């Protein structure tokens, strides 16, 4: 009988010890989860809306373009190739969006910087997804870069950029291009 009582006490003590250990482990995991960085995500609905608005602006202005929207990591979220847009405009819009998101600056601004500072030309060779031509803008929502939008196919980077800005305006992103006078 004494051995049976001892076994129950021992089992109960083991269960309590295990409970304490598990509780401590879960508390540590919860604490670690609180320490993880939080990042805003560009939803597909906003990416699609921005691409459609940029495409609409360029179509209205008479340009046949492609528009790409990427997330903060440069992964494609939305791509629209307008009727009659050149095949290369798909790649150029995607690369401009990637460049704007990864370097966190308008691609036209980067092109100007490289022209004025030849020592910065190495930026062009960082990887094969970089394209430093006007038409790519970072997407800034609430002070955080959540992606990039790129337009390719209009007859000039400044025109591509104006269409990209229309995309940003449609989703309430911070403006990146000074207003035209």
Predicted structure pTM score: 0.80
Encode 60-90: b = buried (16+ Cβ within 10 Å), e = exposed: eeebbbbbbbbbbebeebbbbbbeebeeebb
CATH for 131: 3.30.450.150
Residue range 69-80: mean pLDDT, rounded: 98
Q: Residue 179: inside a domain, yes or no?
A: no
Comparing CA positions, the residue from 104, 102, 88, 103 lying closest to residue 160 is 88
More confident residue, 126 or 138: 138
What single DSSP character describes residue 177?
A: S
Domain that holds residue 126: 44-171
Lowest average pLDDT, out of 47-56, 124-133, 171-180, goes to 171-180
Q: Looking at the structure, do residues 68 and 145 belong to the same domain, yes or no?
A: yes
Q: Looking at the structure, do residues 31 and 106 belong to the same domain, yes or no?
A: no
Lowest average pLDDT, out of 2-6, 28-32, 151-155, goes to 2-6
Q: Looking at the structure, do residues 93 and 31 belong to the same domain, yes or no?
A: no
Q: Residue 176: inside a domain, yes or no?
A: no
């Amino acid at each position: 009988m004494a051995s049976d009582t001892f076994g129950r006490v021992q089992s109960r003590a083991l269960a309590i010890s295990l409970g304490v250990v598990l509780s401590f482990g879960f508390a540590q995991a919860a604490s670690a989860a609180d320490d993880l960085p939080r990042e805003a995500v560009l939803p597909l609905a906003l990416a699609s809306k921005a691409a459609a608005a940029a495409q609409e602006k360029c179509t209205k202005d008479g340009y046949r373009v492609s528009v790409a929207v990427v997330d903060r990591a440069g992964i494609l979220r939305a791509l629209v190739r307008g009727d009659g847009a050149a095949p290369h405009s798909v790649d150029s819009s995607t690369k401009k969006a990637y460049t704007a998101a990864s370097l966190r600056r308008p691609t036209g601004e980067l092109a100007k910087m490289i022209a004025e500072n030849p020592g910065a030309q190495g930026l062009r060779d960082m990887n094969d997804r970089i394209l430093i031509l006007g038409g790519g803008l970072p997407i800034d929502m609430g002070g955080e870069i959540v992606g990039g939008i790129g337009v390719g196919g209009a007859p000039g980077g400044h025109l591509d950029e104006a269409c990209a800005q229309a995309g940003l305006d449609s989703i309430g992103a911070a403006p990146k291009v000074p207003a035209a006078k």
